[in-house]
Structure 1
Amino acid sequence: MEIHYENADTALGLVKSGDRVFVHGSAATPRFLLNKLLAKAGIIKNIELTCISTYGEIEWNRPKVINNGFFINSLFVSSNVREWVNGRNGNYVPVFLSEIPALFEEGLLRLDVAMVQVSPPDRHGYCTLGTSVDAALCATRMAPVVIAQVNPQMPRVMGDGIIHYSEFTAMVWEDSPLPEIDYSLEVDETAIKIGKNVASLIEDEATLQMGIGTIPDAVLQQLSGHKDLGVHTEMFSDGLVPLVEKGVITNEYKKVQPGRIVTSFILGTRKVYDFVNDNPFVNCMNVAFVNDSDVIRRNPKVVAINSAIEIDLTGQICADSIGTFQYSGIGGQMDFMRGASLSEGGKPIIAMPSITRTGISRIVPFLKPGAGVVTTRGHVHYIATEFGIVNLYGRNMEQRARLLISIAHPDHRAVLEQAYYERFRKLYAEVK
């Protein structure tokens, strides 16, 4: 079996002006190819980059890139392109993570090129999409041109993302480390308190979903005394590995792929990348399957742990924007909030610090003007901060406000009490 590798310039010659180019995301972001493509600004024009969440250094903030026809259309906004997405040459598509493959399949986002990063071919010629199958699998099937960055440092991950090298239009060899992020370094006293509060809701034999960030990692640190937990999640990081090693995570009681961790992408440090490499205990799957609420609900006791930017006193969750500034995306929060609520014994949880790093309350009378509602007040259940846990489900608006004030930061409760009075008590007094 003889495999031919192109140099980057030759491979990227397949990208023509006016193309829509899918860019593989998370730890699998093909930074080498992407930066080489951006360097062609002015030579090729009117290129739309469609991506979910990219990581690592991306050389976009240059006049030739933003003034010569490179436009980013992001389906989930990450920090390295946040300013670009919020500028005049970028935008954001609000969409559930589970439905992104359908955008490609149905032609609403017709792809011309897909750029992916893969593990090297095995002796049979099969590569894998490595740490990120999510919507990349569908992108490789729908794009007529697929350019693969083949990286020997990309783990070989079992599941849906197994692709024969003959399906790639061009392959470029690039030996470079994957981007790493260690959420455990950001776990502070507040996160530990939240982690303990959330862990108190998790029963033995539950099936876990963790969102991105410090709080999910803090929760995992509190689960070493649990038994027979399962994992069905859109993503996971290093925090799961010790629980597998201790026998806490067994996946025995799951209904969907029992005995296996089911995920859509992996993001963390080399520790977790080494853990998933050639590991049949982990299946990385198409996000249309992983995040399908009908699939999620089949598992028992699904505990979905996600976070928020702010929540108003009626339970509306903003998790993707700061006012009109697009900070992240809808992602899979609603997929799993709904799936968990439909699961037998399931618990959808929003866990967040009561205040921001600058001391601003995350529990607010009203969301900021322009803020997006990711989880509606009809879908919200448990809210956890460092000051406790409340369950808003089945509660009326006034009851919700009282409960949320009880877990707000003490420095902000007086303002929230006044807002409560203005909205409810003053109104009733006027009616009387």
Structure 2
Amino acid sequence: MASAKIKGLAKYNSVLSQFAAINSSKKFRNFYTYTPEPAQPLPRKPTVCSAEDALKCIQSNNVVFAQGAAATPVHLLDAMAKYGAQAKLSNVTVCHMHTEGEAKYTQKEYEGIFRNCSFFMGGNVRKAIAEGRGDAIPIFLHEIPKLFSRGIVKPDVALIHVTPPDAHGYCSLGTSVDCVREALTHSKIIIAQVNPNMPRTFGDSLIHESHIDFAVNINTPLPSHGGKPPSDVETKIGQNIAENLVDDGATLQMGIGSIPDAVLSALGNHKDLGIHSEMFADGVVDLVEKGCITNNKKTLHKGRIVGSFLIGTQKLYDFVDNNPFIEMLRIDYVNNTQVVSKLPKMTAINSCIEVDLTGQVCSDSIGTRMYSGFGGQVDFIRGAAEGFDGLGKPIIALPSATKRNESKIVPILKPGAGVVTSRAHVHYVVTEYGIASLFGKTLRQRAYELIQIAHPDHRESLEKSAFDRLKVMPAKHR
């Protein structure tokens, strides 16, 4: 027994020695010093340094993950572009969801050095992808973490944007949790942009500073979006949805764009609304202050707003900062269809690029040109349709025409356009001219419903196109 105790003590002292050696060198992690759980404190500290020094760990052929939305580490990404050119790196893949900033590394001068890979495309990388200098992965938002857990994407370096550590050493991922946690647990090196302007959020956003290898201190405002009043068309769409499709006590999901924001602005007379959405923006703040959003009717996370990432104005960032009313959770939970279906009166509101006369929805491309991504549209459209209470409402909303007065309700989708939401998924389509209810309708009934909410300038031509396609006139009744 004594011999066993001596051996156990020797092993314990050996482990402590390894801790001390690794904490001083910070060159590697092993079984004794590292757990992939970001909230578990470890006996090590990050190296505080400049972005230029931190990024020297990136090598040719590496995969770099970058946090997105309002938490995009713009300072690190800009410094990475500069370092990549100076160090003559090659074939570095930068993977991410929607990011903010210029994305300098995607510009033509960095071709061969960096290649971006988007899980959801933002405007800053569209040109690179259109010109063949970048890639896009079509994927449902809730499945993005599987890219890391299944080893399909293997990050060598993760670039993140966090709050300064608190008294216990915990930083917060702030405005973007989404797929970040899964990426971090599968990254070899973590570089954090530490910013006092990042809001501290609750939920799955905690990361202990001991998991960060290099910390780069900055003090800059977060990227900002929104704050502009909706157009007349968007206002009318918002009113059509708010007045006819959103019930008191409903749980809301709003996709990206000005139309979901217009819906929020029209909900001022509603009661006991809840939020369970992959993202939300400034309009939520006003409804909370008015007492319209209480989350009291929710069956999950009752009394709390649930999100996964966000971007808005400083008003939104101030609202979520250190606010336990907000829970920022993993995207594979927030967007899980089974979770969504359990929420009462689940009302999913998403926009798109165009809808054909049978109800097929294109949201990620304009013809063959990739424009964005699948995002969470199908996750929530299906979750709302499968609602346990039978009261869910899956809604697709769009203006009836483009700024050039081209119809967005079309006879057929543009050649090469991708179907994100199938015709069987769609229940409601809303424009400024009204609401088309498609569930359970035949193809000719669907065509009739959609033509009624199309722009008046295009209804006659759409009716002719419908007859050519279906060999029968669109009709309200069977």
TM-score when normalising by structure 2: 0.87
Match of 1:26 in 2: 69
Match of 1:64 in 2: 109
Unpaired segments ≥5 residues, structure 1: none
Once the two structures are superposed, the pairs formed by residues 212-227 of structure 1 within 5 Å of their partners are: 212-227=256-271
Contact 1:146 1:170 in 2 (8 A): yes
Change (3 A) 1:154 1:427: closer
Q: CA deviation at 1:319?
A: 0.5
Q: CA deviation at 1:387?
A: 0.3
1:239-275 deviation line (CA, Å, top 9, x unaligned): 0001001111000110111010000011100000000
Change (3 A) 1:332 1:405: same
Q: CA deviation at 1:69?
A: 2.5
Match of 2:448 in 1: 402
- Secondary structure of the residue aligned to 1:404 is helix
**Does residue 273 of structure 1 match 2:310?**
no
RMSD over equivalenced CA pairs, Å: 1.5
Match of 1:387 in 2: 433
Which residue among 94, 99, 110 is the counterpart of 1:54? 99
Contact 1:303 1:340 in 2 (8 A): yes
Equivalent-residue separation in structure 2 for 1:331 and 1:246 (angstroms): 30
Equivalent-residue separation in structure 1 for 2:291 and 2:256 (angstroms): 23
**Does residue 195 of structure 1 match 2:241?**
no
**Does residue 349 of structure 1 match 2:395?**
yes
Q: CA deviation at 1:2?
A: 7.7
**Does residue 299 of structure 1 match 2:343?**
yes
- Secondary structure of the residue aligned to 1:412 is helix
Which residue among 323, 326, 329 is the counterpart of 2:373? 329
Contact 1:24 1:54 in 2 (8 A): yes
Change (3 A) 1:4 1:239: same
1:352-385 deviation line (CA, Å, top 9, x unaligned): 1000112111000000111110000111100000
**Does residue 139 of structure 1 match 2:162?**
no
Equivalent-residue separation in structure 1 for 2:134 and 2:45 (angstroms): 41
Equivalent-residue separation in structure 2 for 1:420 and 1:61 (angstroms): 42
Which moved further from structure 2: 403-412 or 53-62? 53-62
Once the two structures are superposed, the pairs formed by residues 367-386 of structure 1 within 5 Å of their partners are: 367-386=413-432
Q: CA deviation at 1:62?
A: 4.2
Q: CA deviation at 1:119?
A: 0.8
Equivalent-residue separation in structure 2 for 1:96 and 1:276 (angstroms): 26
Equivalent-residue separation in structure 1 for 2:351 and 2:65 (angstroms): 27
Which residue among 326, 346, 354 is the counterpart of 1:310? 354
Match of 1:245 in 2: 289
- Secondary structure of the residue aligned to 1:398 is helix
Unpaired segments ≥5 residues, structure 2: 1-43
Higher Rg of the two aligned structures: 2
Equivalent-residue separation in structure 1 for 2:297 and 2:426 (angstroms): 26
1:207-262 deviation line (CA, Å, top 9, x unaligned): 00001111011100111100000000000000000100111100011011101000
- Secondary structure of the residue aligned to 2:115 is strand
Q: CA deviation at 1:40?
A: 2.2
1:251-309 deviation line (CA, Å, top 9, x unaligned): 01101110100000111000000000000000000000000000011111000000010
1:377-425 deviation line (CA, Å, top 9, x unaligned): 1111000000000110111111100110000000011110110121223
TM-score when normalising by structure 1: 0.96
**Does residue 152 of structure 1 match 2:196?**
yes
Q: How many residues align?
A: 426
Contact 2:59 2:89 in 1 (8 A): yes
Change (3 A) 1:3 1:96: closer
Identity %: 49
**Does residue 414 of structure 1 match 2:457?**
no
Change (3 A) 1:62 1:421: closer
Q: CA deviation at 1:7?
A: 1.1
**Does residue 185 of structure 1 match 2:231?**
no
1:147-201 deviation line (CA, Å, top 9, x unaligned): 111011111011101000000111111111111011x415011111100100021
Contact 1:74 1:85 in 2 (8 A): no
**Does residue 5 of structure 1 match 2:51?**
no
